[in-house]
C-alpha cells in the first residue's frame, strides 16, 4: 500500500500550475456522446478518474486517443453513430461522475443502462432529482439488479423545478434536454463554473441554451449536435486547496492557471484571516506571514464556499488563532475527516452538521487515513503544519483529484514522499 509521508514545518513558497477541473472534465467527456464524430477536449488533468471515464467511453464503443505530458492530457473521443448503452458497475462504482452518462445516452440512443454508483464515504448521495427530472421529460426509468434503466421513444421538453440545486441532476437534465423535442426549463439549477463550462461546450456543439450561469436554464432542443473542440475550465477546488495550504503554512504561493473569480468567498475568508490575496492575470497569489485568524465556514452550492474545500479549511483552522464554527450543508459524512485530524491533536468537535474548531499553535504528526479525495488533501495540509511525521494511507483517494501533488509540494519546499508500506494501516 502506498502512503504519503509528510514531515511538517515547511513554509510553502513558489508557483504551482492548476489544470482542468475533474468535476468538469468527467461531464465534458460524457457529453461527447451527444454528437457522432470526433470531439477533442484539452486541459484534462492526468488523474485516475479521467482514466476510468476513458474506459467507460471505450466500453460504449468510442475510440479514445490521448496525448499527454506529465500533468495535462488532451483527448480525442471518436463517437460512433450508435453508441452502446450500458455503463457497467465495476467502472461506475469507482467514479460518481459516471452517472453523467445517463442524460447523453438516453437522449442520443433512447436507452441508458447505468449502474447505480452505490455508497460513498462522504454521505448518502441519492439520485431522485436526476430521475424525476428525466421522467418529466418522458423517460421511463426503473431500477433493476443494481442498474438504472432509462428508456424513451423521444424525450420532450418540460418545466423542471429542482428541490435543491444539484450539480449532477442539473447536468443530466441539461445534457438530455439539448436533443429533446421542445423547450426545457430547469429552475433552481446549479450554477457551478463546471456547469457553465459544460454549457459552453454544448453551445459550441450547436445546442441552444439560455440563462447560462444563472439558476434558470432554458434549453431549446435541436435535432442533432456536431463535434467540437473544447478546453476545460481550471479546477477551482485544486486552486482553493493551494490557497488554504499557503495560509496554513504561512507561505507564499502563486497559483497559475486559476480563476480567482470562481473562489471569491474562499479568498475573502483568507483575506479576513490576515492573508494578502492578489489577483493576477494568470491566476492569483496568496501570502501570509502571521498565524491566521479563525473564521466561520458555511458550505453551500456555488457561489457559496464549496463543500470540497471544507477539509482544507478545517486543517487551516486547526492551527488558527481563535475558534471557528463550520456548517456542512451538503454531505453529512464529510466530518469523518474530523476524526482523522483529531488523531493529530486538532481540537475539533462535531454535532450533526456543525463542527467547532478551536485553533492550536501546532498539530502533531500521526498515522492517518484518507477517507476521500478532499479529506486526503486536508490531511496533507494538516501534516505540513504538524510537528514530526504524518503518514497518510489510502493515497489512491488523493490521486483521483490531484495531479502530481507531492511533486508540486516538493517544488514549494515541502518534505513529502510517497512510500510503499506493507504494514501501515493494519
Ligand atoms: N441530492 C439529492 N438528490 C439528488 C441529487 C443530489 O438529494 O438527486 C443532494 C445530495 O445528497 C447532496 C446535495 O444534493 O446533499 C448536493 O449534491 P450534488 O448533486 O450537487 O452533488 P454531485 O453532483 O453528486 C458534485 C461533485 C462533488 C461536489 C458536489 C457539490 C462531481 C463528480 N462531484 O457531486 O465533488 O462535492 O457536486 O459541489 O461533480 C469531489 O470532487 O470530491 C466531490 C465530492
Could you report the per-residue pLDDT of 96-132, keeping only the tens digit for each?
Answer: 888 999 999 999 999 999 998 865 677 778 899 999 9
What's the pLDDT score for residue 426? Answer: 36
CB 128 near ligand 1, within 6 Å: yes
pTM for the full model? 0.96
Q: What's the distance, Cα to Cα, between the start and end of the chain in Å?
A: 11
Could you report the per-residue pLDDT of 65-103, keeping only the tens digit for each?
Answer: 988 766 678 999 999 999 999 999 999 888 888 899 999
User: How far apart are the CA of 92 and the centre of ligand 1, in A?
Assistant: 15
- Listed in sequence order, the residues at least 6 apart from 211 whose beta carbon sits closer than 8 Å to its beta carbon are 189, 217, 218
Could you report the per-residue pLDDT of 316-352, keeping only the tens digit for each?
Answer: 999 999 999 999 999 988 999 999 999 999 999 999 9
Could you report the per-residue pLDDT of 351-387, keeping only the tens digit for each?
Answer: 999 999 999 999 999 999 999 999 999 999 999 999 9
| CA–CA distance, 49 with 213 (Å, rounded to integer) | 26
What's the pLDDT score for residue 73? Answer: 81
- 47 secondary structure, DSSP code: -
| CA–CA distance, 272 with 254 (Å, rounded to integer) | 19
User: How far apart are the CA of 164 and the centre of ligand 1, in A?
Assistant: 10
Closest C-alpha to ligand 1, atom 32: 97
Identify which of 167, 332, 373 to mutate to test ligand 1's pocket (most ligand atoms within 8 A of the CB): 167
What's the pLDDT score for residue 421? Answer: 80
What's the pLDDT score for residue 94? Answer: 86
Could you report the per-residue pLDDT of 225-256, keeping only the tens digit for each?
Answer: 999 999 999 999 999 999 999 999 999 999 99
Q: Which of 285, 293, 291 is nearest to 252 (CA)?
A: 285
- Listed in sequence order, the residues at least 6 apart from 423 whose beta carbon sits closer than 8 Å to its beta carbon are none
What's the pLDDT score for residue 423? Answer: 55
- C-alpha grid cell for residue 195? 456547469
Is the pLDDT at 391 greater than 90? The verdict is yes
What's the pLDDT score for residue 332? Answer: 82
The pLDDT of 53-66, averaged and rounded, is 95
- Residue 122 to residues 29, 91, 328, 370: CA-CA distances in angstroms? 24, 19, 11, 12
Confidence of residue 425 (pLDDT cuts 50, 70, 90): very low
Confidence of residue 169 (pLDDT cuts 50, 70, 90): very high
Q: Is the preceding peptide bond at 303 cis, omega within 30 degrees of 0? A: yes
Closest C-alpha to ligand 1, atom 40: 308
Tell me how far apart the 2 most distant CA atoms of the chain are, in Å. 63
Sign, Cα dihedral of 10, 14, 19, 24: positive
Could you report the per-residue pLDDT of 9-47, keeping only the tens digit for each?
Answer: 999 999 999 999 999 999 999 999 999 999 999 999 988
| CA–CA distance, 21 with 402 (Å, rounded to integer) | 10
C-alpha dihedral (72, 76, 82, 88), degrees to nearest 10: -20
CB 100 within 8 A of CB 175: yes
What's the pLDDT score for residue 71? Answer: 65
CB 97 near ligand 1, within 6 Å: yes
| CA–CA distance, 48 with 73 (Å, rounded to integer) | 12
CB 334 near ligand 1, within 6 Å: no
- C-alpha grid cell for residue 122? 462522504
| CA–CA distance, 216 with 213 (Å, rounded to integer) | 8
What's the pLDDT score for residue 42? Answer: 95
Which residue numbers are catalytic? 120
Is the pLDDT at 195 greater than 90? The verdict is yes
- 34 secondary structure, DSSP code: G
What's the pLDDT score for residue 201? Answer: 98
The pLDDT of 416-425, averaged and rounded, is 76
- C-alpha grid cell for residue 166? 444539484
SS3 385: coil
Confidence of residue 190 (pLDDT cuts 50, 70, 90): very high
User: How far apart are the CA of 134 and the centre of ligand 1, in A?
Assistant: 17
What's the pLDDT score for residue 44? Answer: 94
C-alpha dihedral (77, 79, 84, 88), degrees to nearest 10: 10
Q: Which of 213, 172, 203, 170 is nearest to 189 (CA)?
A: 170
What's the pLDDT score for residue 145? Answer: 92
**CA 266 distance to own-chain centroid:** 16
Could you report the per-residue pLDDT of 265-318, keeping only the tens digit for each?
Answer: 999 999 999 999 999 999 999 999 999 999 999 999 999 999 999 999 999 999
Amino acid at each position: 500500500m502506498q502512503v504519503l509521508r509528510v514531515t511538517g514545518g515547511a513554509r510553502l513558497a513558489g508557483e504551482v500550475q492548476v489544470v482542468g477541473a475533474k468535476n468538469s472534465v468527467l461531464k465534458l467527456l460524457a457529453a461527447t456522446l451527444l454528437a457522432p464524430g470526433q470531439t477533442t477536449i484539452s486541459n484534462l488533468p492526468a488523474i485516475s478518474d479521467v482514466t476510468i471515464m476513458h474506459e467507460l467511453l471505450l466500453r460504449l464503443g468510442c475510440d479514445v486517443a490521448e496525448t499527454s505530458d506529465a500533468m495535462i492530457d488532451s483527448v480525442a473521443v471518436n463517437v460512433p453513430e450508435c453508441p452502446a448503452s450500458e455503463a457497467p458497475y465495476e467502472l461506475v462504482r469507482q467514479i460518481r461522475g459516471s452517472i453523467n452518462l445517463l442524460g447523453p445516452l438516453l437522449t442520443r440512443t433512447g436507452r441508458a443502462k447505468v449502474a447505480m454508483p452505490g455508497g460513498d464515504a462522504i454521505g448518502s448521495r441519492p439520485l431522485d432529482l436526476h430521475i424525476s427530472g428525466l421522467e418529466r421529460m418522458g423517460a421511463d426509468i426503473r431500477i433493476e439488479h443494481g442498474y438504472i434503466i432509462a428508456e424513451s421513444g423521444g424525450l420532450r421538453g418540460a418545466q423542471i423545478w429542482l428541490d435543491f440545486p444539484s450539480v449532477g441532476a442539473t447536468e443530466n437534465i441539461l445534457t438530455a434536454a439539448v436533443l429533446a423535442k421542445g423547450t426545457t426549463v430547469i429552475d433552481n439549477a446549479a450554477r457551478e463554473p463546471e456547469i457553465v463550462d459544460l454549457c459552453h461546450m454544448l453551445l459550441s456543439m450547436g445546442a441552444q441554451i439560455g440563462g447560462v450561469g444563472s439558476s434558470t436554464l432554458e434549453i431549446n432542443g435541436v435535432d442533432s449536435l456536431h463535434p467540437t473542440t473544447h478546453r476545460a475550465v481550471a479546477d477551482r477546488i485544486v486552486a482553493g486547496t493551494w490557497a488554504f495550504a499557503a495560509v496554513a503554512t504561512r507561505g507564499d504561493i502563486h497559483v497559475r492557471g486559476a480563476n480567482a473569480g470562481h473562489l471569491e468567498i474562499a479568498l475573502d475568508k483568507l483575506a479576513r484571516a490576515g492573508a494578502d490575496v492578489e489577483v493576477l492575470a494568470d491566476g492569483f497569489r496568496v501570502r501570509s506571514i502571521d498565524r491566521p485568524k479563525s473564521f466561520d465556514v458555511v458550505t453551500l452550492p456555488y457561489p457559496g464556499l464549496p463543500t470540497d474545500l471544507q477539509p482544507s479549511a478545517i486543517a487551516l483552522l486547526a492551527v488558527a488563532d481563535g475558534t471557528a464554527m463550520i456548517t456542512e450543508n451538503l454531505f453529512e459524512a464529510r466530518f469523518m475527516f474530523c476524526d482523522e485530524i483529531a488523531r493529530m491533536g486538532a481540537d475539533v468537535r462535531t454535532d450533526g452538521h456543525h463542527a467547532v474548531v478551536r485553533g492550536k499553535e501546532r498539530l502533531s504528526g500521526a498515522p492517518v487515513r484518507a477517507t476521500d479525495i478532499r479529506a486526503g488533501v486536508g490531511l496533507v495540509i494538516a501534516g505540513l503544519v504538524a510537528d514530526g511525521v504524518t503518514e497518510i494511507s489510502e493515497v489512491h483517494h488523493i490521486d483521483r483529484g490531484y495531479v502530481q501533488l507531492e511533486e508540486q509540494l516538493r517544488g514549494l519546499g515541502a518534505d513529502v514522499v510517497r512510500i510503499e508500506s506493507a504494514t501501515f494501516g493494519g
